[in-house]
Amino acid sequence: MPAYDLATVAFAVDAPRKWVDNTCSHFAITGVESTQRGVSRQFSFDGVLAVQLVRNLCVEMGLPVHAAVRLATAMLADPDAAASFARGVIISLDLETLTHHVQQRLLEAVESVPRIRRGRPPSRSGDKGGA
């Protein structure tokens, strides 16, 4: 199962990296793994799907991030159920369309986003250092 990095996910969900990073830092999102400081966050496909849904709820419906994460989690847990986030307001999820959209965006992202190495650059052989 492929794992995606922050830059790829940000491109795929059409969100600033900072927004994706902050959202994943402050809220537990299924499919997003962050083991320790200094180690890049990894996203499974389900994680990218969840971040895309949270982003859609925030941008398209104007929900605050905490409410969007809660609603997205409930909707992805049972995609066939309708979710209610306010009295008398019920929304449903077209998981097939969302999945297709995320797959297409990830294909574009993998081709467009360069992989940035973290940490120290590899040492050059024969480089003595100093003058």
Highest mean pLDDT among 32-41, 58-67, 75-84: 58-67
Quick one: pLDDT at residue 36? Answer: 65
pLDDT beyond 90 at 49 = yes
User: Looking at the chain, how many residues does it have?
Assistant: 131
- Residue 29 Cα distances to 2, 49, 68, 113, angstroms: 17, 10, 11, 23
Query: What domains can you pick out in the chain, each with its CATH number?
Result: 6-112 (1.10.1660)
What whole-number distance in Å separates Cα of residue 107 and Cα of residue 103? 6
State how far Cα 7 lies from the chain centre: 9
Report phi then psi at 90, rounded to 5: -125, 135
What whole-number distance in Å separates Cα of residue 3 and Cα of residue 63? 28
Quick one: pLDDT at residue 11? Answer: 94
In this prediction the pTM is 0.80
